[in-house]
Amino acid sequence: MDLATLRRAWIAPLIFFQGYLTFSLLLFFEGPWPWDVDQPYLLAGYLIAAQVCIGLGYCMSWRGVSCSIMPEVEREQEITRTIGVLRRALIVTLILLIPTSLSRTGDLFPNFLEGLRDTGGVYNRNFVRLEAGNPFQIVEYIRIVLSPYLMGLYPLTVVLWGRLSNKFRALCCLAILFNLAIYIATGTNKGLADFVVTLPWLVYLGIRARTLRFRIPRSVVVPIFILLFVAFLEFFSMGQAQREGGVGELGVLNTGNGLLYSNLAHPISQLVGDGGRIAFESIARYFGQGYYALSMAFHIDQTTTFGFGNSMFLARNADAVFGTDYFTVGSLPGQLEVQTGWSMMALWHSIYPWLASDFGFAGALVVLGGFAYLLGLSWGRSLTTASASWLLMVFMMIVLFFYVPANNQIFQTAETCVAFFIVGFQLLWKRRSHALVASNGSSAGKQGA
């Protein structure tokens, strides 16, 4: 791959996410929800500054990408190692399929048909079941330890599809579909949403990295992705219509300090019919409520949670270790709930208050720029090396940036948070090893001279 071709493929995520975040900002200010923001210009200015930091961080990664092109022989060896990682990921995932179903649905096999029929109902019933105690909690701890393998099965399968045997593909698809069935059986949007929004990027990555060859014309592939997205919207709107409290069907949001009603006369709501209105208003609510929480968080006096408050998983464990509630309640989302009633668990805050809990609002922009740098570096090095660690990292970064209007997604749950640090450590260790090899080679050359 020459540098010009690499650069064109490398810049694609930056262009997309800049457009995506601009759309979310427009949907907040011009959408169907009348968010009452005290300082709209401060909010808009901060979010625009965030996109500038994202652009700067991403562009700074090009230097590390441009020097990562490998000789073809070395690259093929790296792909072989990545397939080995995928093989181990498949074994681990297959072993844990039924235990995971028991833990997350209460059944040996996920009843996805019931999830499709009564999406909101199964969500509510499963929530009550887990609140009463999960007898299979040990499965979740096992999943945390093995999180890089469990998380890596799906992205590695898609990117390496062209290098896998038919039997290998079938087993991977079985495991992936089983996991998706668990999400459907519990009426949970996240798993299906992650699948739908990342699949086109993984396919594009595989094609550009020459590990996935599509014989299907683009005129067929694009409609398939559109139909997949429409199917997700249908599942999403059914779940919202059946959720308790009428949040979707009635267009009402409990802010903790009163009820907020959507504008039923919004032109798009009027245009798309009742089912489309529920989906449109729900998506706008998902995008908008995080920015609304950010606007309120500007007025809260900041302290610091010492690196733990940006993650619900880290905050809870820090509280457990130190016998306190400081790291959860002391975070900006925690303080927002105390002072305004805006729920830390039931409502979204965007990524910014979570990061600002530890780094301040200015520091949150710097950290987000760092994530953008990591997105650009991992995307570029996935294109040039197809290394398992870089592929896992770029998958996590794509998910993180899709959830910027919602929360600090990768660090909120134990599996993805632990996977991030494990993969990050692997990349740092590999870099250190390469640096030592290069240093030793340089020293040997000087001695020989």
Q: How many CB atoms lie within 10 A of CB 261?
A: 12
Distance CA 58, CA 13 (A): 9
- 8-state DSSP, 135: T
Cβ atoms 148, 81 nearer than 8 A: no
Tokens of 192: 């299906």
Percent of the chain with pLDDT over 90: 70
* Residue-wise burial string across 23-47, b where 16 or more C-beta atoms lie within 10 A, e elsewhere: ebbebbeebbbebebeeeeebbebb
Query: Residues 359-397: pLDDT tens digits?
Result: 999 999 999 999 999 999 999 999 999 999 999 999 999
Cβ atoms 291, 47 nearer than 8 A: yes
Q: How many CB atoms lie within 10 A of CB 271?
A: 10
Question: What are the helix (H) ranges across 312-387?
Answer: 312-322, 326-329, 332-340, 351-385
What are the residue ranges spanned by the domains of the chain? Answer: 3-302+338-409
Residue 411 pLDDT exceeds 70: yes
Distance CA 66, CA 295 (A): 39
Query: Residues 169-208: pLDDT tens digits?
Result: 999 999 999 999 999 999 887 888 899 889 999 999 999 9
- The closest of 209, 225, 236 to 75, measured between CA atoms, is 209
Per-residue pLDDT at 117: 84
Query: Residues 114-163: pLDDT tens digits?
Result: 888 887 788 888 888 988 889 999 999 999 999 999 999 999 999 999 99
Cβ atoms 295, 43 nearer than 8 A: yes
Per-residue pLDDT at 278: 80
Query: Residues 274-291: pLDDT tens digits?
Result: 777 887 888 899 889 999
Distance CA 226, CA 216 (A): 15
